[in-house]
Structure 1
Amino acid sequence: MGGFHRFYPNACDLRSLPVQEVDESVSVQEGQRLLQSGLLGGILLRVDDVYQVILSSDLAGEEGNQPLKTKAWRPALFIHARMPVAELLEQWMKTPDAVPVVADEHGVPQGVIDPLTSAGVLHHEFTRIRSYLDSILAQVNECICGIDDRHKVVIWNSKAEELYGYKAEEVLSKRIENFFSNLRITNCMHENKELKGHYHQPTEGTHVLISAAPVTHGSAVIGGISVEKDITEVVQLNQELTRASSQVKLLEQEIKKMSGQECAFRHLTGRSAVMQELIRFGKKVSTTDATVLLRGESGTGKELFARAIHQNSNRYMHPFIVVNCGAIPNNLFESELFGYEGGAFTGADRKGKPGMFELANEGTLFLDEVGEMPVEMQVKLLRVLQEGSFYRVGGSEPVQVNVRVLAATHRDLEAMISRRQFREDLYYRLNVVSLEIAPLRERREDIPELVHLFVQEFCQKYGKSITKIEPAVMTSFLDYSWPGNVRELKNAVERLVVLTEGETITEQSLPENLRRNTYISLVTTPAAQGNLMNVAVEAEKQLILKTLQQVKGNRSEAARVLGIPRSTLYYKLRQLGIPAKG
């Protein structure tokens, strides 16, 4: 942990006195004369490459010419000037009789450490550390508690006083168990492990995130420390939020019960008469359990319509399971629809697996592209529709289910029946109510609304800010036949949003097939048999008329859809001979 602070001084910060190196030929009398000058802190005696330090106190009262080495008993402890004092003390304590000798980077002795000065420096450093510790304990926004190896509290800051209501003078030097139970700090200390951000409830009504760890000196555990962040208010707010969320969910359920029809069908976009009639009919059949067959070309939104029927039914709280009959291999059809028992076939899960019918129990099963279902599976599907039960693959007990079935297809089922590719009895069972979803080319008045809806969706997705669409772009959309229907339109709009750099979608961004289709449509109309200018004028006029028809004559709304100011629209109405009212 010392790597996170710089409190301890280095050896060079301690006071040292000069030292003189001598050999074993020097006598006691000569040594006394050297030390009496007061300039040396000691004599460094070398005997057979072993160094010892002689201080003036070692020669006090001595007389005679005996060798100086007879009075040498203090080993020299060589240290470099940049050695931290903490490391110096650690080495010094191993040989307390030694005298530290400071050496330079080349190993040349420079002086001996004065013990009295060292004590003063260490006391000053201790005072500094304590001041920093006091400031930290006062400033941090967490509760800090420290205990020694006897579980007595040695640290208790003001935040701990505030959270737990115990003053420091009440707690310090007392055993922590006198105030708390279920302690994390003692567990971490005795198990010599750390705890990070652990939720803890130390007292009734108090919630904290606690981090705790043992305090070590070398390999010895000398205590424990804990830091606790008060999250009581957060927990209480979360509890209130949970209760409020539960109430909101109950309200949402009640709202769905009261106005479920409006909510369920709001995602179906289209103001055309054919679309409005389809939605009205869908709302009517959704409140029953009748089997519905949705027919229409690919991309017309059959699954979206089926989901709306489910959400508007009494089964909306239960699963809506989609099965794409065209994507399941023939040999897996039965196990996918009806599930299997454990070990029913090679590679089967030992626990077995529920099928789509079981997963949809009490809810709705949507069979998309039902015309792709193998004939042999059609017989089993018919049995489930008639009896409400089936057998798992490898099973011997019938499984009873309560499922509403919705089906969809773009195929001509009647022609398939004549070719014996689809069972007639299953057809009648699925075709209790039939809904034909019109292709986009038969409800072109819905195109502007769909375009603007998709532009908003993809602007949000890609972080774009597109506010206008050039009239020529909308003309292309209105004139194109859209063989892929709404799905193709959505993909085209996404492409335009991705490629548009500014705030306006321009004709240059249109894919080639749309531009070519628009040109062919314009130049082959009787009104466009003239020069290029006539073609452009007629195209503009047709776009404005179609837009006015789509917005039921609302000029302000038409200007918004066309992406032009209202004054510009009125100017063009006069220029093109279109009545401003009516």
Structure 2
Amino acid sequence: MYNSISKWEMEVILNSIYNGIIAINNKGIITIFNKAAEKILNIKAEDARGKYIKDIVPNTRLHIILKTRTAEIDQQQIVGNTTIITSRIPIIDGDGNLIGAVAIFRDISELKKLANELTNLREIESMLKAIINSTQDAISVVDEHGKGILVNPAYTRLTGLTEKDVIGKPATVDIAEGESMHMQVLRTGKPVWGVAMKVGPNKKEVVVNVAPIMVDGKLKGSVGVIHDISEIKRLNDELDKAKKLIRHLEAKYTFDDIIGESEIMQTIIEHAKKIADTPATVLLRGESGTGKELFAHAIHNQSKRRHNQFIRVNCAALSDPLLESELFGYIEGAFTGAKKGGKKGLFEQANGGTIFLDEIGEIKHNLQTKLLRVLQEKEIVRVGDTRTIEVDVRIIAATNVDLEEAVKSGKFREDLYYRLNVLPLYIPPLRKRKEDIPLLVEHLIRKYNQEYGRSVEKISEEALKILVEYNWPGNVRELENIISRAMINMKYVENVIQEKHLPILENNKYFLNDEFGEKSVLTDDNYVYKTLKEIIEDKEKEIIKHILKKTGGNKTEAAKKLGIAIRSLYYKLEKYEL
């Protein structure tokens, strides 16, 4: 077949090839020098053919290939001002005789130039990312399709959402209340300014500015800057709550807020949803810290009463006389200091809604009698009055007390026990559903990212293993405190909770590694009267004092070192009276 190709045809084929080709005979004389070789090496073929290869290409290795009979593939070579990639191959006939050698090469100078330009672009990209990541403003960027392509650490601290939650996801993924301004800008091509909305799982109140990204006149996406406006409102709300001994609020949690995919939790959640559809009294049982109040909120929000009041009463927080007057109200002159005109009780205020009686096992006998009347007769009598008032209230009660034992010992009325125990719901301790711990930790990291202004992304496998192996006598509330403390212990630049950030958890006791080089053991002797929350607050106060001392009292610098907003620092200084 090859014998049928003429010399002219062979030349046409060789000159049509993009790669340069040089062939020599077994004496090193050039026999083939195609058009691409002319262009790449800037040497005319007529000046090269018939010449010794080294006279034309001084740094060639084709003559060495004749000696070694070994191919050299994809070698880089500089020829004049040109960089080439070349493969040198010996030509051997069927009888093993060396006929010559051939070099096939291509110019990569332009590719090197493009590679350098790409490197420069990457450096610019890295610089821009560093600038975006160092700003205190929360920034999010989406492409022309509304998919997230970039968020900075300030965004994570504000919203509680990490890159994994946002990148590649629709622009609406972070919206808790309101319309996505990213999508509006992508529709209209016009910027928007000062739009109020709520973002993230904790519904952070923010104001957003969003502008289109135009490249060569084409819309390529949009960039949003998010400003937190919730701090002042939060402080005001906390001040109001601190003035109240009893929280009077609407239910803010639903079953979607209950974290748990274990079989036991899924069964309980399904049972609670069925309970919610009935008007019957519910008794939530379980150890302290298991989340009984969360279920009370969720049951109310799932019920037909969800549009009416939800009132929570901590029965252990008030003395008997005060609790009685708060629950049932009083008439004018009922006792010294009674308000003129009297006062409605919480049962009246909750009419048509739900009242949540937390720690029901702590109320005394006289109140138990009055509560029984509410359950049996659906009516109450104000303190100092004889007139009955009808009320339509659903009661959800909760206790960690062994009511059966309390009934046996005479501390709790048996008839009231049976009235309360119509629909019992047992919330399991955390040690019975350890498979939920990874989900709970992920949720708590998001929660405390917002509260502490941090950008923690996850927990390490080693640290998570420690949490899973611990017995959790304080249940979910204790887990909240541990994660809270771990994130407080982390440096501002750290974004993964490691084993070193956790207290040592052994035999249901905490061994706390002091930030300043000391180690303290929490035993019954030195911490018997402190809750875990109080211990963490003590440590937070100690760290703030230490940082303030280091910064010479400079609060702005201290806030930076602590990784929190200056407003948050002033709040903590007031809280700890520093």
TM-score bucket (shorter structure): 0.3 to 0.5
Higher RCO, 1 vs 2 (CA within 8 Å, ≥6 residues apart): 2
When normalised by structure 1's length, the TM-score is 0.43
When normalised by structure 2's length, the TM-score is 0.43
Structure with the larger helix share: 1
**Largest Rg, 1 or 2:** 1
